[in-house]
Chains A and B, each alone.
Chain A
Amino acid sequence: LAKTTQPISMDSYEGQEVNITCSHNNIATNDYITWYQQFPSQGPRFIIQGYKTKVTNEVASLFIPADRKSSTLSLPRVSLSDTAVYYCLVAPMNSGYSTLTFGKGTMLLVSP
């Protein structure tokens, strides 16, 4: 299981770009990187997933360097509604429960 390390919290202002980095030094060759967002008293929601280089969707971008030992979730022009906890999960596909461990995540607070 690739252990992940994220900052406990981050602060930002509306309209800024936010980058949240996750360290996963022990990532395996067949591991994928997935980010989830969770609002209070709700279930986490899938944001983005990637294996290498860069992935972009309508919500965010995910940057993964060549050594894959870290990844950065980039949220462009955040708004107040982006205040949430963001989880980085590193796991191979179809590998069993040992890969299904969420850390404490990063609490992002966006201010006006």
Chain B
Amino acid sequence: DGGITQSPKYLFRKEGQNVTLSCEQNLNHDAMYWYRQDPGQGLRLIYYSQIVNDFQKGDIAEGYSVSREKKESFPLTVTSAQKNPTAFYLCASSRGVGETQYFGPGTRLLVL
């Protein structure tokens, strides 16, 4: 059963804490992406990766970091430098950058 998974579904962060959101895909896609969505807004690109061991900043990368050590995995770390992290985070993958994207179910991050 192919697809893209994200965990956890909900995540709570304390002030000054780093948290990591998981994203895994078994679609054999080369490209993976992280988006942030705020209420009533569209999706904004945080980071994307075209291939293993490579990633590029999107429009709102400040306060976030990623790694792409395996083709299947693209974890996102929300650092303490991100002052307003409360949002819905979506991970996606595609065969190549610009091609049809397949999205995970999302992780909702809340700050305590």
The 0/1 profile, CB within 8 Å of A marked 1, for residues 71-106 of chain B is 000000000000000001011100011111111111
The answer to whether A95 and B97 have CB atoms under 8 Å apart is yes
Task: Tell me the count of chain A residues lying within 8 A, CB to CB, of chain B.
Answer: 24
The secondary-structure label for the interface of chain A is loop
| Interface stretch (choices A17-25, A36-44, A53-61, A74-82) | A36-44
Q: Chain A residues near B101: list those with CB within 8 A.
A: 36, 44, 46
A-B contact count (CB 8 A): 63
Q: Is A96 an interface residue (CB 8 A)?
A: yes
Nearest A residue to B58 by beta-carbon distance? Answer: A97
Nearest A residue to B91 by beta-carbon distance? Answer: A43
Q: Chain A residues near B102: list those with CB within 8 A.
A: 46
Q: Chain B residues near A96: list those with CB within 8 A.
A: 56, 97-98
The contact sample of 21 A-B pairs, CB cut-off 8 A, is A34-B100, A41-B108, A43-B90, A43-B91, A44-B43, A44-B103, A46-B101, A46-B102, A87-B42, A91-B98, A93-B96, A94-B98, A95-B98, A97-B45, A97-B97, A100-B45, A100-B48, A100-B97, A101-B42, A102-B35, A104-B41
